[in-house]
Amino acid sequence: MRKTTIASNIKPISNIIAITGPTACGKTALVQKIARKEDIIINADSRQLYKHLNIGVAKPSTPEQIAYPYRLIDHQPLHKPFTAYDFLEHVKTTVLEQQHNPHSSRIFIVGGTLFYFSALENGLIDLKVDDSLSEQLNREYMSYGLPKLRAELKERDLDHFNQIDKNNPRRIIRALALLRTHQQPLKTLQRKRLPFPYRLHKIILIPPKQTLWKTIETRAENMFINDRLIHEVKQILKQGISKSVLLKHKTIGYLEITEYLNGFYSRETALAKIIKRTKLLAKHQITWLKKQQHAHFIFLGAPTDFITPHHTANTPHHTSTGHPPTTCHFSSTKQKSPRHATNKKSQQKRSATSTSLIENWSLTPDNIVMNNNKVYFAKTSDQCRAIAVKLCEECSHYPHSQV
C-alpha cells in the first residue's frame, strides 16, 4: 500500500479524533463539552448536513452552531446528493488546511453515519456513473423487467451479483450502470481505493440498552410536542420541496410524517414507527461498532450495567471516585463447548448464553478488549468528559500517519 508523504515544512496532523456511537447516545453533547474555539467539528451525520432538516435529525441549534466550529451542517440542499466520497474529500481538504494552521487545533469527526467512518479507515473511490446509462437502464427495466437486467449482471460481474439484493431494481440498475460506465467488475474498481493517510483516533460511546431505548422514546415524543416535527415538514413542503424528495431520502421522522400527511396512518402510528425505526438503526450501529479495533470504548454506566451475571465474577472492582477510571480488561468466563457437541443440553446452554449477550448488545467489555480496544466506564457526564479530554491529550503521542 502506498504511503502518503508530507512536505517537511508542513505541520503533521495527529489530532484527528472520531467520536461515534449509536444514535441518541450523547455524541454532540460530548464534543461540545471538550471542543475549543480553535478546533474544528466535522459533522458525520448524513442527514444533519442537509438544509431544512432540523428537529427530526436532532441538529445542533443555531446558537450551538454559532458557538462551536461546525463544518458540514446545513451544507447541502435536499435535492442534491452528498456521497461518502464527497465526505471523504471534504475531510481531506480540511486536514490540508489545518496543516498550514499555526495554531494547535484539533479536528473532531462526530456522528453516527458509520459508512463515513468506514470510508475514512478503508478508503473509497469515486464510483460515478454516466447519467444517460442510468436513464437507459431504467427504460430497459420498464420494457423488459428485472430478470433481463439480473441476467446481464450475473454474466458480467458474478461476485457483485451474489452480494446484491436481487429483488431491488434500484440496486440492480446502479450495479449495471457502474459496470457499463467503467467496464470493470466492482471488485477490480475497489482495489484502486486509497485509505485515509492519517491515523484516526476513535472514541466510541456505548450506553446501557434500556437507557438508550428511553432516550430514543423521549426524543421522539418531544418532536411531537405541539406538533413541532409535523409543522417542520409542512414548512419544508411550502418552500417548494416535493413530498417525493422527502420520501426519496427515507429519513427517519420525515418519511413517517410525510406518510401521515398523505393519510396513510395516524399521528400515533407515525410516532410508533419513528421510535421503532430509530431503535432498529441503533441496533445496526451497535452491530458495526462491536467489530471495531484499536478504539477507545466509553461505557456510559457502571460495569454491572453491561455485564451479564456469568461475567460478573471476573469483573474488577469499580471505584466510585470522580477520577477517570483506568482501562479495564476482562477475561471471558464463557465455557467453550466441544467442537462437535450435538447433545440437547449443550445446545440449550449455548442458546442461553447467546440470548444473554444479545440483551447486552452483544457488546460486553470483555469481548471488546479482545479486538485490541480499550474500555472505560463513566457513571456521569462529567466522568465521560474527563475521560474524553484525557484521550484527546494522548492523541499527540501517536504517529500522525499510517502506512
| Predicted confidence (pLDDT) at residue 138 exceeds the cutoff of 70 | yes
| Predicted confidence (pLDDT) at residue 158 exceeds the cutoff of 90 | yes
On the question of a common fold for 16-123 and 131-190, the answer reads no
Count of other CB atoms within 10 angstroms of residue 43: 26
Please choose, from the candidates 299, 311, 316, the residue with its C-alpha nearest in 3D space to the C-alpha of residue 379. 299
Q: How far is CA 348 from CA 334, 353, 354, 356, in A?
A: 14, 9, 10, 12
pTM comes to 0.77
DSSP string, 368-388: HHTTT-EEEE-SSHHHHHHHH
**Topology of 206-289 in CATH?**
Helix Hairpins (1.10.287)
Instruction: Specify the 3-state DSSP secondary structure of 55.
Output: helix
pLDDT in tens, 208-217: 999 999 999 9
Which pLDDT does position 354 carry in this prediction? 34
* Residue indicated by cell numbers 456521569: 380
Please choose, from the candidates 103, 100, 99, 105, the residue with its C-alpha nearest in 3D space to the C-alpha of residue 42. 105
H, E, C per residue of 15-54:
CEEEEECCCCCCHHHHHHHHCCCCCEEEECCCCCCECCCC
**Topology of 131-190 in CATH?**
Histone, subunit A (1.10.20)
What 8-state DSSP symbol labels residue 70? E
Output the nine-digit C-alpha cell for 176: 449495471
The CATH class that applies to domain 16-123 reads: alpha beta
Output the nine-digit C-alpha cell for 306: 453491561
Q: How far is CA 388 from CA 33, 60, 323, 394, in A?
A: 10, 20, 12, 10
| Predicted confidence (pLDDT) at residue 344 exceeds the cutoff of 60 | no
Q: How far is CA 158 from CA 155, 178, 225, 322, in A?
A: 6, 14, 51, 57
pLDDT in tens, 53-112: 999 999 999 999 999 999 999 999 999 989 888 999 999 999 988 877 767 689 999 999
Query: Domain-by-domain residue ranges, the chain?
Result: 16-123, 131-190, 206-289
Count of other CB atoms within 10 angstroms of residue 13: 21
What 8-state DSSP symbol labels residue 59? P
Residue 358 φ/ψ, nearest 5 degrees: -60, -40
Using 50, 70 and 90 to split pLDDT, how confident is the model at 193?
Answer: confident
Average pLDDT of the segment spanning 379-392: 95
Work out the percent of the chain whose per-residue pLDDT is above 90.
59
Classify burial at 24, counting beta carbons within 10 Å of its beta carbon; exposed 0-12, middle 13-18, buried 19 or more.
buried
| Predicted confidence (pLDDT) at residue 316 exceeds the cutoff of 70 | no
Rg, Å, the chain Cα set? 23
Output the nine-digit C-alpha cell for 122: 478503508
Q: Which residue did the predictor score with more confidence, 46 or 329? A: 46
b/e burial code for range 227-256 (CB count within 10 A of at least 16 → b): eebbebbeebeeeebeeebbeebebbbbbb
Q: What is the greatest pairwise CA distance in the chain?
A: 70
DSSP string, 89-113: HHHHHHHHHHHT-SS---EEEE-S-
Helices 254-261 + 228-238 axis angle, to 10: 80
Which pLDDT does position 170 carry in this prediction? 86
- The answer to whether 8 and 77 are in contact (CB under 8 A) is no
Q: How far is CA 366 from CA 95, 141, 192, 259, 316, in A?
A: 35, 50, 36, 43, 11
Q: What is the mean pLDDT of the chain?
A: 82
Which pLDDT does position 123 carry in this prediction? 84
At residue 194's C-alpha, the angle toward residues 188 and 196, to 5°, is 150
